[in-house]
């Protein structure tokens, strides 16, 4: 990249990724592969249901709402921290983690993943949105076929910690 890239407020590539609205603000294309920056809107109770890990390190900066971030160490011992507006939490590469909006209102955070690459996951799993403030209501739980497709996409981009560990 030889020049600065601006994504204006409210702009970016908006995707509905399961329960969350992910807006890609800067992808690897705009950062010479160094990072991807996303804004994530999470409904109450939303967030990935299972601990997962991926190669990019991930830093969360909360703008609105209350989140619990769960991490697990090499011995799979779980640790939970609650973060809110203005808090920043960094998760190193390949550390098990997940997040959940534990507030009663939608929450919002910025995530910076480095190096870039996770934008491909968001695009592959997500559904493009025209209006990130009015995502469609879920049609219900995914079918077995949809669940299998989702798990195949997830497996291409990260690992999931089995719930029995």
Domains of the chain: 13-160 (2.60.120.10)
Predicted TM-score (pTM) of this structure: 0.92
* Spatial distance between the Cα atoms of 120 and 123, rounded to a whole number of angstroms: 5
Q: Return the closest-CA partner of residue 68 out of 52, 57, 84.
A: 84
pLDDT tens digit sequence for 110-155: 999 999 999 999 999 999 999 998 888 877 788 889 889 999 999 9
At residue 163, the pLDDT reads: 60
Q: Helix or strand or coil: residue 27?
A: coil
Q: Which residue has the tokens 């879920």?
A: 138
Q: Are 24 and 12 in contact (CB under 8 A)?
A: yes
Alpha-carbon torsion, ordered 142, 106, 89, 129, to 10 deg: 60
Please state, in angstroms and rounded to a whole number, the distance separating the CA atoms of residues 146 and 10.
Answer: 30
* pLDDT score of 97: 96
**Which residues of the chain have a pLDDT value below 50?**
165
Interior angle at CA 123, CA 125 and CA 72, nearest 5: 60
């Amino acid at each position: 990249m030889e020049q600065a890239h601006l994504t204006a407020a409210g702009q970016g590539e908006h995707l509905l990724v399961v329960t969350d609205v992910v807006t890609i603000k800067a992808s690897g294309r705009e950062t010479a592969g160094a990072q991807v920056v996303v804004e994530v809107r999470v409904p109450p109770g939303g967030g990935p249901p299972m601990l997962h890990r991926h190669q990019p390190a991930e830093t969360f900066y909360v703008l609105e709402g209350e989140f619990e971030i769960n991490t697990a160490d090499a011995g799979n011992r779980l640790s939970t921290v609650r973060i809110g507006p203005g808090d920043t939490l960094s998760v190193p590469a390949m550390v098990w983690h997940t997040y959940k909006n534990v507030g009663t209102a939608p929450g919002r955070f910025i995530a910076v993943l480095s190096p870039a690459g996770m934008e491909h996951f968001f695009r592959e799993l997500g559904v493009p949105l025209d209006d990130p403030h009015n995502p469609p209501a879920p049609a219900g739980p995914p079918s077995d076929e949809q669940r299998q497709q989702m798990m195949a996409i997830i497996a291409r981009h990260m690992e999931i910690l089995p719930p029995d560990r």
